[in-house]
Structure 1
Amino acid sequence: MQENNKDILLEVKDLKKYFPLKSRLFFNNKSYVKSVDGVSFKIHKTKIMGLVGESGCGKSTVAKTILNLIEPTGGSVKFNDKTIFNVEKNSYIPNKRMNEIRKDMQLIFQDPYSSLNPRKTIEAIVSEGMVKYKMGSKAEIKGRCEMLLNLCGMDKTCLNRYPHEFSGGQRQRIGIARAISLSPQFIVCDEPTAALDVSIQSQILNLMLDLKEDLSLTYLFISHNLSVVRYFCDEICVMYLGVIVEKGPSAEIYDHPLHPYTKALISSMPISHPLQENKRILLTGSIPSAGKIPSGCKFNTRCKYATDRCREEIPELIEVSTNHLVACHNYNSI
Structure 2
Amino acid sequence: MALTTLTVMGQVTNGAVNAATKYSVTDLGAFDPSGINNAGLVVGTGNVDGNHPHAVLYSHGQLRDIGILPNEDASYATGINDLGQVVGYSEPLSQPPFRKTHAFIYSCGQLKDLGTFLGNYDSYAYAIDNAGQIVGTTCCSSGSGAFLFSNGYVRNLGFLPGGSVSAAYAIKTEGQAAGYSSSSTQPDQAVLFDNGKVQDLGISSTLGYRYSMARGINRKGQIVGLMFNENESGDYHAFLYSKGKVQDLSTTKYPTGAAYGINNAGLVVGSAQTVSGKSVAVLYEHGQLLDLNTLISPIPGLVLEEAKGINDVGKIVSSGRYGNGSPTHAFLLTPVSK
Alignment TM-score > 0.5, same fold:
no
Larger radius of gyration: 1
Larger strand fraction of residues: 2
Larger helix fraction of residues: 1
Higher relative contact order (CA 8 A, sep 6+): 1
Q: TM-score, normalised by structure 1?
A: 0.33
